[in-house]
Amino acid sequence: MANDNKLQNIIGHCKEYGFVFQSSEIYDGLSAVYDYGQLGVELKRNIRDYWWRSMTQMHDNIVGIDAAIFMHPTVWKASGHVDNFSDPMIDNKDSQKRYRVDHLIEGFAETLDKEKGDAMLQQMDQLLAANDFAGIKQLIEDNKISCAISGTCNWTDVRQFNLMFSTEIGSVAEEANVIYLRPETAQGIFVNFLNVQKTGRMKIPFGIAQTGKAFRNEIVARGFIFRMREFEQMEMQFFIKPGTQKEWYEYWKETRMKWHLSLGIGADKYRFHDHVKLAHYADAACDIEYDFPMGFKEVEGIHSRTDFDLKQHQQYSGKKLTYFDTDINQHYVPYVIETSIGLDRTVMMLLSEAYKEEDLSTADKQDNRVVLSFPPMLAPVKLAVLPLTKKDGLPEIARELIDQCKPYFKCFYEEKDSIGKRYRRQDAIGTPFCVTIDHQTKEDQTVTIRYRDSMTQERIALADVKALVMDKIKMF
Ligand code: GAP
C-alpha cells in the first residue's frame, strides 16, 4: 500500500467506524479541527490514562494538576509567546495562499532524491537558525518552489506571524481585556510551581504533569489530526537543581523513548531529532519522531528549558519563585526539563501503526480484512461477546459474562450476522478478544476465544475469560 493511500485509507476508516470526524461536518467542516467519535474517544482516553499513570503513578516524585485554559494575559508576555511565538511565513501573490516556510521547503525536499533533499533541509535549518529570512526566500526562489494552487513562484518576503488565538474577557465591551487561548499547557504548571511545591511538600527533583487542550492558529494545517488548531497536550515539567540539567535531559530522553517502545512499536519506527534552532527558552532540545505514512515527524519534544520560565514569571509577577534546598542550604530558581507530547499525534501514531489491510485469500476463495492491531491495553473495546444464535439461552449466558466483566473493562455485545462477519467488524475497530458462546457452552461451561492478530481460536473455561483479558490489558 503506497503511503499516500495509507493515510487516505486511515482517514476513511476513522470516519467509517466512528474514530474521528471532521468538526462541524454538516456545515462543510472547519479546517484543521476534528471531533472524536465513540471509539476515538475511548482510544484517546486510554492513551491519556496510560501516559498519566506512567508519569504520576509510576514516579513517586511526579504529581498532576489541571490548570485553566484562560490565564492572566501577562503570563504570555512573560513566557515570550506574545513576542516570539511566531512562524516565518510566505504568501503566494497569485493564489493569496500563505505557507509556513519550513513546511513549504520540506514538502519540496520530499520530492527530491534523499541526498539532495537532506542537503536542502540542512541549508534551511542553518538559515532559520540565523533568522536569515532573505536567505530563505532566496532558497525558495533558487529551487523554483511553487505554490500548489497557483503553480507560480511569485512570493512575498518572508514574515513572522503569531500563532496565538485571542479573545476578550469581561462582560462589558469597555471593561474587556484581551486574553489568549493557551498555546501550550506548560505555563499553567510554571505559575503553579510554588503552590504545588509548598502544599505537596515536594523536594527537588520533582515533576508536575498536566494534560489538556492547547490552541494554535496553524497557518498550514494538514495531515489529518497531525497538525490541528485545537489539540491536546500531555506535558510534564521536571524541576531540578541548576547544573544537573544535562544528566536529567538524558534521563528523560531515555525514559520517554522507553515509554514509546512500550507501545509495542519497533525501535526502527522512531528516531531522535536534535534541534539546531533552539526555542527562546531552551539550552538543549530534541524531538522523538515516528515514521508516519508521510515520513518521520515529531510526536514529542524534550526540552531543557533552563530557569527561563520561572525567572520570567518572577520578574513579571514580582513574586519570588525560588526553592530552598535543605541539602545545600541555598535558595535558587530551579531549572526545568520538559517532556511534551501531543495526544492527538499519539492517536495518529497508534492508528498508523495499527492499521493493516491483510489479504487472506486462499486458492478457492478471495478474502481480505482491515485490522487495527492496537496494544490490548489501549484498544477502545477489550472484549466482544458473541452468542452464536439469538436463542436457546445463549444471549443470557453472554449477557452474564458481560455483567461480570464490564466493571473492569469495556465490553461489546452483538448477536446479529454470521460469526465471521462479527469477527471482521471487531477486527476493524481493534478489539483484541472475541468470545463466542455456543451450545457446547451450556454443556461444559467453555467458550471459544478468538485472538485478533493471529485469528487463532481456543477453547477455554467461561470462568477464566475475565482473568485472561485482565492479564492481557495490564498497563504495568
Ligand atoms: N511546551 C512545549 C511545547 O508546546 P511543542 O513542540 O510546540 O512544545 C509539543 O509542542 C507537542 O505538541 C508536539 O510534539 C506535538 O506532538 C504537539 N503539537 C504541537 N502543535 C500541534 C498541533 N498544531 N496539532 C497537534 N499537535 C501538536
Domains (range + CATH), the chain = 4-71+181-351 (3.30.930.10), 86-162 (3.30.40.230), 381-472 (3.40.50.800)
State the CB neighbour count (10 A cutoff) for residue 245.
Answer: 20
Give 279 Cα–ligand 1 centroid separation in angstroms: 13
Residue 84 has a pLDDT of 86
Contact between 121 and 106 (Cβ < 8 Å): yes
CA of 341 to the centre of ligand 1 (A): 7
Please work out whether the CB of residue 302 comes within 6 Å of at least one atom of ligand 1: no
| Contact 373 CB / ligand 1 (< 6 Å) | no
Residues in CB range of 36: below 8 A, 6 or more apart = 19, 20, 21, 44
Rounded to a whole number of angstroms, the CA Rg of the chain reads 26
What is the C-alpha to C-alpha distance for residues 401 and 414, in angstroms, rounded to an integer?
Answer: 13
What pLDDT sits at residue 192?
98
> What is the total residue count of the chain?
476
Please report the pLDDT score of residue 423 as a whole number: 98
| Distance separating alpha carbons of residues 134 and 156, to the nearest angstrom | 11
CB-CB contact of 44 with 347 (8 Å): yes
From 233, 272, 294, 299, give the residue whose CB has the most ligand 1 atoms within 8 Å, as the site to mutate: 233
Task: Retrieve residue 155's grid coordinates.
Answer: 512570493
At residue 175, the pLDDT reads 63
Q: Which long-range contacts (CB under 8 A, 24 or more apart) does 134-143 make?
A: 134/158, 136/88, 136/90, 136/101, 136/105, 137/90, 139/105, 140/90, 140/101, 140/104, 140/105, 143/108
Please say whether the dihedral angle defined by the alpha carbons of residues 433, 438, 440 and 441, taken in this order, is positive or negative. positive
Q: How far is the CA of 412 from the centre of ligand 1 (A)?
A: 34
Instruction: Tell me, in angstroms, the distance from the centre of ligand 1 to residue 254's CA.
Output: 20
Strand partners, 5: none
- Quick one: which atom of ligand 1 is closest to the CA of 186? 1
Ligand 1 neighbour 230 (Cβ under 6 A): no
86, three cell numbers? 511566531
> CA–CA separation, 210 vs 212, rounded Å?
7
Q: What pLDDT was estimated at residue 34?
A: 98
Mutate to test the pocket of ligand 1, among 81, 231, 278, 303 (most ligand atoms within 8 A of CB): 231
Cβ–ligand 1 contact at 235 (below 6 Å): yes
Q: Which DSSP helix (H) or strand (E) runs through 12?
A: helix 3-16
Strands 335-342, 206-215: parallel, antiparallel or unpaired by DSSP? unpaired
Does ligand 1 come within 6 angstroms of the Cβ of 236? no
- Probe ligand 1: pick from 86, 103, 345, max atoms within 8 Å of CB? 345
Residue 176: the pLDDT is 67
For ligand 1, the distance from its centroid to the CA atom of residue 339, given in whole angstroms, is: 11
Q: What's residue 347's pLDDT? A: 98
Give the whole-angstrom CA distance, residue 199 versus residue 192: 11
**Quick one: pLDDT at residue 128?**
86
Cell of 153: 513562484
Question: 435 C-alpha to center of ligand 1: Å?
Answer: 40
Smallest CA separation from ligand 1 atom 16, residue: 342
Phi/psi of residue 119, nearest 5 degrees? -65, -40
- Ligand 1 atom with least separation from CA of 228: 24
Please give the model's pTM, rounded to 2 decimal places.
0.90
Among 298, 336, 348, 352, name the best residue to mutate to test ligand 1's pocket (greatest count of ligand atoms within 8 A of Cβ). 298
Place of cell 509567546: 81
* Residue owning the nearest CA to atom 9 of ligand 1: 340
The residue type found at 137 is K
Q: What is the largest CA-CA distance in the chain?
A: 80
Residues 6 or more apart whose CB falls under 8 angstroms from that of 29 comprise: 22, 23
DSSP structure class, residue 172? S
CA of 232 to the centre of ligand 1 (A): 8
Q: Tell me the pairing of strands 270-274 and 284-292.
A: antiparallel
Q: Are 93 and 155 in contact (CB under 8 A)?
A: yes
Q: What is the full per-residue pLDDT of the chain (476 aa) written as tens digits?
A: 666 699 999 999 999 999 999 999 999 999 999 999 999 999 999 999 999 999 999 999 999 999 999 999 999 999 999 988 888 999 999 999 989 899 899 999 999 998 999 899 999 989 987 889 999 999 999 999 999 999 999 999 999 989 999 999 887 666 668 899 999 999 999 999 999 999 999 999 999 999 999 999 987 667 899 999 999 999 999 999 999 999 999 999 999 999 999 999 999 999 999 998 787 789 999 999 999 999 999 999 999 999 999 999 999 999 999 999 999 999 999 999 999 999 999 999 999 999 999 999 999 999 999 999 999 999 999 999 999 999 999 999 999 999 999 999 999 999 999 999 999 999 999 999 999 999 999 999 999 999 999 999 999 999 999 999 999 999 99
Which residues, other chains included, contact 53 with Cβ-Cβ below 8 Å and sequence gap of 6+?
475, 476
Contact 76, 281 (CB under 8 A): no
